[in-house]
Amino acid sequence: MTEKRRAPAGAAVLRGEITSAIRAAVMQELAEVGYGRLSIEAVARRAGVSKTAIYRRWRSKLDLVLDMVSAVAGRNIPLLDTGSLLGDLEILLHVMARALRHRLAAQIIPDLLAEAARNPQIAEKLQAALDDYQQAIGRILIGRAVERGELSPDTDRRAAVDLIVGPVYWRMAISRAPLESTEVPRMAAAIVAALRVACVGPVRDEVEV
């Protein structure tokens, strides 16, 4: 019971440099072969590390990836207040575009999102992060615009998020065409126009004859 336990010391401590090497290797490997083909052996090889080193830190491949996901997804997105919906949107689009311009991100994100569709554990972590992200946009960005009077109070947050995030994601992650920074203002302006219209009730809509 009252065992005297000496704290691990000396060589008996996880070396952070190795943990980092593994993390980096996982990202590389994830981008190169995807989650489906991700193998611990390959990660170990790439990191110049033994498999045991990995299994000591994470129980399984799933654990490993889940940990990476929460580490990356946990970051809060800073949503600066520029004083106008258009300005806020430009900033947000620039941030997203910059993120998706990174080769690793552009490959890993769609891959994990696809994997989430069949892996409940990944889905949970990823959807949580995604929901945070979307809620943040909806609450902060749209919320501010409503306060300013730029948008109607009964704007549908979810629909708004789709209109904001969809185009840039489609362009960069699916269509995989570059999005020049100079195009961002135009896209932002278009989205503002869309949002102004999107506030009307969901069901009722007149059809022109």
Partner DNA sequence: GAACGTCGGGACGCAACCGTACCGTCGTTG
Partner DNA sequence: CAACGACGGTACGGTTGCGTCCCGACGTTC
Residues near a copy of itself (CB under 8 A): 31-37, 84, 86-87, 106-107, 110-111, 113-115, 117-118, 127, 130, 134, 156, 158-159, 161-163, 165-171, 174-177, 180, 182-183, 185-187, 189-198, 200-203, 205, 207-208
CB of 69 to a copy of itself, least distance (A): 15
Taking CB under 7 A as the rule, which mask of x and - marks residues 27-56 in contact with DNA?
A: -----------xxxxx-----xxxxxx-xx
Q: Does 10 bind DNA (CB under 7 A)?
A: yes
In the chain the first and final C-alpha atoms are separated, in Å, by: 83
List 1, 2, 6, 207, residue binding DNA (CB under 7 A) = 6
> Taking a C-beta distance cutoff of 8 angstroms, is the pair 68, 20 a contact?
no
> For every residue of 113-163, which 3-state class applies, written as one string?
HHHHCCCHHHHHHHHHHHHHHHHHHHHHHHHHHHHHCCCCCCCCHHHHHHH
Q: Does 14 bind DNA (CB under 7 A)?
A: yes
> Taking a C-beta distance cutoff of 8 angstroms, is the pair 184, 90 a contact?
yes
Q: What is the DSSP letter of 60?
A: S
Contacted by 114, from DNA, a copy of itself, none: CB < 5 to 8 Å by type: a copy of itself
CB of 111 to DNA, least distance (A): 16
Give the sign of the dihedral formed by CA 122, CA 127, CA 133, CA 136.
negative
Buried/exposed code over 88-101 (b: 16+ C-beta within 10 A; e: otherwise): bbbbbbbebbeebe
Which of 42/79 has CB closer to DNA?
A: 42
List 1, 13, 177, 203, residue binding DNA (CB under 7 A) = 13
CB of 119 to DNA, least distance (A): 14
Radius of gyration of the chain from Cα atoms?
A: 22
> Taking a C-beta distance cutoff of 8 angstroms, is the pair 85, 151 a contact?
yes
CB of 177 to a copy of itself, least distance (A): 7
Residues near DNA (CB under 7 A) are 5-15, 18, 38-42, 48-53, 55-56, 60-61
